[in-house]
Structure 1
């Protein structure tokens, strides 16, 4: 039976640097782009009138484009029509807000959903005086980034102050996990205006691939996936491999393979592998297309997700959707997604834990790994599909606006 959805309601999404139409893989094109595209598409197919406002970063872009899923994308003329690193975008935000104010004065949306702190800054300026509620999703927090990166943090110095002001002014904040809720409350933001709606995955695309498993004689396969940056913990996986004989480690992420030789983090990881005598068992795959990722994940005996910190962490959810067992650090959203002893294993983010020993014990228990994989897939279907995300977001919209909810009140 097909679902019955409400008549169209006007939803404005603001995603200043992360266009839902952007090709993934660039330095500022990743999870937020996917989130906005998937959510906008789900809402449009349910009958909502969705417009996504993103910055024009190419003079050839049309002012407005209709995406295949039915939502519209407006390219806002704010700053130069050229790529600008997101940490250098604050001077462009006042013009972005003025554009929204002009557009919405003529035809105000029923609700505004801002993605990232600068989008919230622009959205609040655009909605000022209109009585239009603003819902904020941060996707990442400056306080967390500053704590973990210290002097290496390239965020604008005003980020945390503006991020906090945005949270105080927004009608509702959507956190992606319970750890983010704690961070937001520590910033002084009101708990009663924060609700959790996690990120999602497409379980039809990320699904087990039946013929992906290799022969029993092949080495046991460990897989790590993510951007090639130190905080992802790939170095820890390489060091652990030294204590896991007869296993290989594949690392998927970074630029395309032809450009990996010039990638500094790849060079660092190769040096660590050589130092620990495992360079013949570590393969840096470079960037892997989303189309290939389900087969790669399905081929793994164990997926390692070992970041030092992680706002949400979509890799464990994608792996579980492919029925792959997960070993993850107990940080951020991974505390919500990976159920310790049910869908995988959580380990401390510091280096004191005997990671090699944990990996060996898991690889020596194939029945346990199979059970983790089965339970992981079930958990994704029950909690982490994009339809679940759309349900949670529309409940949030309903709590602050006249936009009808699809499935009850915000919990």
Structure 2
């Protein structure tokens, strides 16, 4: 691991996030924490802040708000709330937020401001970099209006969608360098006019020391009655684009064909969880489908330990083609067999017949067929799981992937 501090002892980095652990335990928060944690291990002088007003302007609900929260080796500082901009991302908010961020950058002697999606966080940060006379990096983890378009198919034809698209591109144009979470998203950004040589792909990765194979948790096996069952699992948010209704139908079909398979669904997602439970009830409330609800962050690995096969049946939507989930990498690191739909962002991770199996997105019979193949062939499951873990160790370990960030930082400081 390189010693950043020995080479760049005068250079500091201010990282700006839309949300963070421990208040928002999402994939975004996990990725942010891994990046910040590894940059600190590399010796980077790093200050991590959340966007002005978070969490009061967020959906996280009533909670105690502190000036900072520390998780492991990372301290998340909360920036104060502005009197303008409550629920509205306008010019006045952008100017006030960028002035505050520029002031913070000056106080912590930052040479780089590194901000992550979405543009409500990134645009004020890139404006702040210009005001402070420092370098700005915008990290595209996704286009959040693409996600909204899955829930509301008419949204791409509206002015709010086009406005957010324009502002996302403007944020990247203002930045001195850009990170994209996938090759597919990089291609989208190039098509929108961002220079290809400005963009570095910074994929999801995993802490391979934290996510390692574990024996099944006996207490949870008994609690959910999973002994002598092959467990198909989903862990995450029940969003509209995950394709979970198809996954439930596939598992029910395989039960009717006589396979001893259960579906363990861990997490929540407000209205989508209610919808899934209603669909389950409409299909006869079969006991092979289990909803656990949200579980404590520290218990997630216990639930992973129960799972044999982890499908990711994402639908053929633009957000799914561009933005990969973090969970396949965690699953592969823990030695689970992965089955994924053939959207571009997932096939960058799951190589059909090598690190997992791939089926046609939106094709329920193909999903059933591939799941049946894995249920009938434990030897294939084990081989794919072993190869998947080996690939993650070689290609998607945060210890190695974080080096890409340092190279971009160095390029900006030396340029």
Q: Same-fold call, TM > 0.5?
A: yes
The residue aligned with 1:408 is: none
Aligned to 2:41: 45
Partner of 2:110: helix, strand, or coil?
A: coil
Q: 1:64 to 1:24 in 2, by over 3 A?
A: closer
Which deviates more, 345-354 or 169-178?
Answer: 345-354
8 Å contact 2:231–2:307 — kept in the other structure?
yes
Cα deviation for residue 322 of structure 1 reads 0.8
Q: How does 1:173-184 map to 2 (within 5 A)?
A: 173-184=178-189
Q: State the match for 2:22 in structure 1.
A: 22
Q: Which residue of 2 aligns with 1:324?
A: 336
CA contact (8 A) 1:325 1:344 kept: yes
Q: TM-score, normalised by structure 1?
A: 0.84
Q: Aligned pair in 2 of structure 1 residues 74, 80: CA closer, same or farther (>3 Å)? A: farther
Once the 2 structures are TM-superposed, how far is the Cα of residue 324 of structure 1 from its aligned partner?
A: 0.3
* Residues 126 and 138, structure 2, Cα contact 8 Å, conserved in 1: no
**More helix as a share of residues:** 2
Aligned to 1:270: 277
Counterpart residue number, 2:267: 253
2:387 maps to which residue?
375
Distance 1:155 1:50 in 2: 38
How well do the aligned residues superpose, as a CA RMSD in angstroms?
3.0
The whole-number CA distance in structure 2 between the counterparts of 1:325 and 1:222 is 10
Report if aligned partners of 1:320, 1:380 keep a CA contact under 8 Å in 2. Answer: yes
Q: Could you give the per-residue CA deviations for residues 112-148 of structure 1, whole angstroms, max 9, x where no partner exists? A: 2111122221112111154422111121114633553
Q: What is the CA–CA distance in structure 1 between the aligned matches of 2:338 and 2:70, rounded to whole Å?
A: 38
- Partner of 2:197 in structure 1? 192
Task: Name which of structure 1's ranges 52-61 and 329-338 shifts more when overlaid on structure 2.
Answer: 52-61
- 1:224-252 Cα shifts (integer Å, max 9, x gaps): 12212221111010111232122111111
Residue-pair matches, total:
385
- In structure 1, the gaps of 5 or more residues are 256-262, 404-411
Deviation at 1:272, TM superposition (A): 2.4
Match of 2:238 among 200, 224, 228: 228
Distance 1:94 1:207 in 2: 45
Using the alignment, how far apart are the partners of 1:289 and 1:72 within structure 2? 20
2:248 is matched with 238
Partner of 2:80: 77
Partner of 1:260: none
Please say if 1:333 is aligned against 2:345. Answer: yes
Are positions 1:207 and 2:212 aligned together?
yes
Once residues 402 and 109 of structure 1 are traced to their aligned partners in structure 2, the CA distance between those partners, rounded to angstroms, is: 15
Contact 1:177/1:332 (8 A) holds in 2 = no
CA distance in 2, matches of 1:66, 1:241: 41
From 301, 313, 317, the counterpart of 2:308? 301
Tell me the TM-score normalized by structure 2: 0.83
